[in-house]
Amino acid sequence: MDSVKVTKICCSGPTCAVIALKCPHIIVTIVDLNQARVDAWNSPDFKLPIYEPGLEEVVREARGRNLFFSTDVDKGIEEADLIFVSVNTPTKKSGVGAGFAADLNYVELATRRIAQVARTSKIVVEKSTVPCRTAESMRTILEANSKPGCRFDILSNPEFLAEGTAISDLFKPDRVLIGSLQTPEGLSACQSLAAVYANWVPKDRVLTVGLWSSELSKLAANAMLAQRISSINALSAICEATGANIDEVAHAVGYDTRIGPKFLKASVGFGGSCFQKDILNLVYLSESLHLPEVAAYWRQVVEMNEHQKRRFSKRVVDTMFNTITGKRIAVLGFAFKADTGDTRESAAITLIRDFQSEKAYVNIYDPQVPHDQIWADLAEASPLAPVETIQKQVRICSSAMEACQDAEAVVIATEWKEFNDIDWEQVYSNMNKPAFIFDGRLLVDAEKLRKIGFSVTTIGRP
Ligand SMILES: NC(=O)C1=CN([C@@H]2O[C@H](COP(=O)(O)OP(=O)(O)OC[C@H]3O[C@@H](n4cnc5c(N)ncnc54)[C@H](O)[C@@H]3O)[C@@H](O)[C@H]2O)C=CC1
Ligand SMILES: O=C(O)[C@H]1O[C@H](OP(=O)(O)OP(=O)(O)OC[C@H]2O[C@@H](n3ccc(=O)[nH]c3=O)[C@H](O)[C@@H]2O)[C@H](O)[C@@H](O)[C@@H]1O
């Protein structure tokens, strides 16, 4: 069966901006219901809705050439041969599976829209991270609502990029995974999408597998990445209690080629929009399949992460003579990792909430996170606290130096490189004494800071 040559794509997000850049012969329209987001994508001065290194250059080159942004979802659907569904799939907050299951409402609404609007055959690509066998539901919805002569082929093509390195991940992916039904039509649709990636991804990096394997591989990859972090963080607690050094342990362990050195950095806890959500999704899936031991195994990865955050806040309080009431703490970094403005599930939010509940004053500085985002996150983290109370306890600062002024302690919550270049002597002279530093990211040179006079506490070191 001949595969369809894709000439028009409709989708959302950085992935499709890169497809447009690499495939000038394909018209790519990114559609989103959110007008403010689309306006930002289209803004004349390239004030894009997300901060992502390298993204602006991609959009500058392709926008208006073969890359377009629009809220006209229906037109986007109608004109495309291939549609990526990359809508949000957050953890459900209520109803069946609340707190664990993925909320598939947005995927279903987008799918129904495609069925309703399409007048010609389409390849529909599931890009969102979804539970195993979601493509089956999408196919049922599409087929039950399709117009005569219209056929839909569903593919799974999970996204593996990480925030902060999205553009380089997309330019040089470890692999592109495409799952399809193993029917002639399914395999042909798979070839159509593979041909798009072939414009810049070497053939041996495009893996084609069955639909369900592809869906599950995405959850599996995130679960195993997060599991490495929880493993190293669990070991960091043993280091603190024994005198071992977690960096040395990670280095020694990672030298084994079977284990490898990446993703073994101990931290105050992983954050981000996906690790927790996807593991909980896997936990729910396992429970639904009557596999309680499997569910418990994966759940522990998230529980260890919660434990790591709590352990860190407690160490701050313990070290500061068992009370931080009325003390000023500077929190450097609010994003869930460096090189992103994203704060979803950021460990900083939990730490600050803990400091607030100890009645400390908190100064926050992050080079990328907008101030109103910080306020919104803090309000959501403490729903019972009146806004005025939060505002009395917290100050958002526009530099690290300002945040550290008159503080008793500095907490490094995000590994922004610029925190290494801070004039620590100056910080020391501006702080109350004894001046404490708590490095939740293994970022700063503890010995150098001790020489200045700081009392330094680092994750995974005694
Ligand atoms: N953020 C990331 O780095 C990664 C995200 N993913 C997955 O990709 C999916 C999307 O994640 P994000 O981009 O972070 O979510 P997001 O919440 O930032 O963006 C989703 C967008 O979809 C739009 N939308 C919702 N329903 C729509 C509809 N019916 N029609 C058109 N637009 C609609 C929303 O307005 C929103 O702008 C999730 O399933 C996530 O797990 C996978 C890998 C990486
Ligand atoms: O599905 C997703 O959304 C994405 O989730 C992660 O990407 P992301 O969350 O953007 O960022 P990571 O670099 O994975 O970092 C996640 C968290 O783990 C922390 N981390 C990471 C690595 C490490 O060694 N130690 C550690 O604490 C980071 O600071 C951060 O808080 C995966 O790395 C991507 O492959 C995946 O596509």
**Which tens digit of pLDDT belongs to each residue from 23-55?**
999 999 999 999 999 999 999 999 999 989 999
Global confidence as pTM? 0.95
Query: Within 10 A of 195 (CB to CB), how many other CB atoms are there?
Result: 15
Considering every ligand atom shown, identify the ligand nearest to the alpha carbon of residue 229 and give its number: 2
What pLDDT score was predicted for residue 462?
Answer: 87
The verdict on whether 404 is a catalytic residue reads no
**pLDDT (mean) for 72-101:** 93
- On the question of a common fold for 8-201 and 211-462, the answer reads yes
What pLDDT score was predicted for residue 4?
Answer: 63
d(CA 102, CA 111): 16
**Ligand 1: residue whose CA is nearest its atom 42:** 159
What pLDDT score was predicted for residue 64?
Answer: 96
Q: Using the predicted structure, report yes or no on whether residue 2 has a pLDDT greater than 60.
A: no
3 pLDDT band, cuts 50/70/90, is low
CA of 6 to the centre of ligand 1 (A): 23
Considering every ligand atom shown, identify the ligand nearest to the alpha carbon of residue 334 and give its number: 2
**Ligand 2: residue whose CA is nearest its atom 12:** 162
Domain range summary for the chain, segments of one domain joined by +? 8-201, 211-462
**Ligand 1: residue whose CA is nearest its atom 12:** 88
Percentage of the chain lying above the pLDDT 90 cut:
94
Ligand 2 pocket test, candidate residues 127, 229, 415, most atoms within 8 A of CB: 229
Q: Which fold has domain 8-201?
A: Rossmann fold (3.40.50)
Model confidence pLDDT, tens digit, residues 8-28: 776 767 899 999 999 999 999
- Pick the closest to residue 31 from 53, 3, 9, 6 (CA basis): 9
Ligand 1 pocket test, candidate residues 11, 12, 69, most atoms within 8 A of CB: 12
Q: Give the annotated binding-site residues.
A: 32, 37, 87-91, 128-129, 159-163, 218-222, 258, 265-271, 274-277, 336-337, 344, 441
**Which protein residues touch ligand 2 with a CB less than 6 Å away?**
129, 159-163, 222, 225, 229, 263-265, 267, 270-272, 274-275, 336-337
What pLDDT score was predicted for residue 200?
Answer: 98
Helix (H, G, I), strand (E, B) or coil at 85: strand
CA of 159 to the centre of ligand 1 (A): 11
What pLDDT score was predicted for residue 14?
Answer: 86
What pLDDT score was predicted for residue 1?
Answer: 57
Secondary structure E strands in 223-376: 328-332, 361-365
Packing angle of the helix pair 246-254, 211-242 (nearest 10 deg): 140
Which one of 3.40.50.720, 3.40.50.360, 3.40.50.300, 3.40.50.2000 gives the CATH number of domain 211-462?
Answer: 3.40.50.720
Whether ligand 1 lies within 6 angstroms of the CB of 399 is answered as no
d(CA 13, CA 273): 15
5 pLDDT band, cuts 50/70/90, is low
**Ligand 2: residue whose CA is nearest its atom 13:** 162
What pLDDT score was predicted for residue 250?
Answer: 98
Model confidence pLDDT, tens digit, residues 338-359: 999 999 999 999 999 999 999 9
Q: Using the predicted structure, report yes or no on whether residue 168 has a pLDDT greater than 60.
A: yes
Helix (H, G, I), strand (E, B) or coil at 290: coil
Considering every ligand atom shown, identify the ligand nearest to the alpha carbon of residue 348 and give its number: 2
**pLDDT (mean) for 169-184:** 97
CA of 27 to the centre of ligand 1 (A): 21
- Pick the closest to residue 443 from 241, 301, 254, 266 (CA basis): 266
CA of 346 to the centre of ligand 2 (A): 11
Beta-carbon contacts of 326 under 8 Å, excluding residues fewer than 6 positions away, are 359, 360, 361
Whether the CA torsion 269, 271, 274, 279 is positive or negative: it is positive
d(CA 266, CA 229): 7
The rounded mean pLDDT for the chain is 95
CA of 396 to the centre of ligand 2 (A): 26
Determine which one of 23, 132, 274, 404 is catalytic. 274
d(CA 151, CA 396): 53
**pLDDT (mean) for 210-220:** 97
- Which tokens belong to 401? 């130096």
**Ligand 2: residue whose CA is nearest its atom 11:** 162
Q: Using the predicted structure, report yes or no on whether residue 309 has a pLDDT greater than 80.
A: yes
Considering every ligand atom shown, identify the ligand nearest to the alpha carbon of residue 163 and give its number: 2
Q: Using the predicted structure, report yes or no on whether residue 125 has a pLDDT greater than 80.
A: yes
Q: Beta strand pairing status for 152-156 and 176-180?
A: antiparallel
